[in-house]
């Protein structure tokens, strides 16, 4: 948010309006997000209500993509920040540094995920279009 869409640097401060705790974390830090979510889930399970978690992350691509992909108006320096703020690469480096994973293990996992996504896309493309009336199934309680 950073004051561009709302007043103030942290969206988490808006939680006060709802009388719930608000937390702002680095959304590119996998462990920070995990810890914030773990605390929020613990509160909720203890009957203490919801928590607003604002995960600040860098937007890699332009805000509104359309057919034909209009040019990205951001300065080149801003565009180059994406890879530096990649949470997957950063967490992978942490796992390697701690001896939890090897580059080969992570490469293998990445290949498995890409294969799984490609299979899901192929399945979706080969599947018949759903009946529009089904959009309302299981949406409302009886």
Residue 1 scores a pLDDT above 50: no
- Domain residues for the domain of 121 are 86-127
SS3 26: strand
Residue-wise pLDDT tens digits, 11-45: 888 888 889 999 999 999 999 999 999 999 999 99
pTM of the shown model: 0.69
The stretches of 20-136 forming alpha helices (DSSP H) are 30-45, 76-79, 81-84, 87-97, 103-126
Inside any domain, residue 134: no
Statement to judge: residues 91 and 51 lie in one domain: no
DSSP-assigned letters across all residues of 58-82: ---S-SS--TT-PPP-S-HHHHTHH
Say what the pLDDT of residue 107 is.
97
Residue-wise pLDDT tens digits, 60-108: 777 666 666 777 788 888 777 777 888 999 999 999 999 999 999 999 9
Inside any domain, residue 20: yes
Per the structure, the count of domains in the chain is 2
């Amino acid at each position: 948010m950073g004051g561009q869409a709302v007043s103030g640097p942290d969206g988490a401060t808006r939680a006060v309006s709802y009388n719930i705790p608000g937390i702002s974390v680095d959304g590119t830090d996998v462990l920070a997000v995990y810890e914030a979510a773990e605390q929020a889930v613990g509160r909720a399970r203890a009957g203490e209500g919801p928590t607003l978690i604002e995960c600040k992350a860098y937007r890699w691509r332009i805000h509104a993509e359309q057919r034909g992909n209009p040019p990205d108006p951001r300065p080149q320096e801003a565009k180059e920040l994406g890879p530096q703020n990649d949470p997957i690469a950063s967490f992978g480096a942490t796992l390697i540094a701690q001896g939890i994973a090897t580059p080969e293990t992570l490469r293998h996992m990445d290949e498995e995920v890409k294969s799984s996504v490609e299979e899901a896309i192929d399945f979706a493309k080969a599947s018949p279009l759903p009946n529009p009336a089904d959009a309302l199934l299981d949406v409302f309680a009886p």
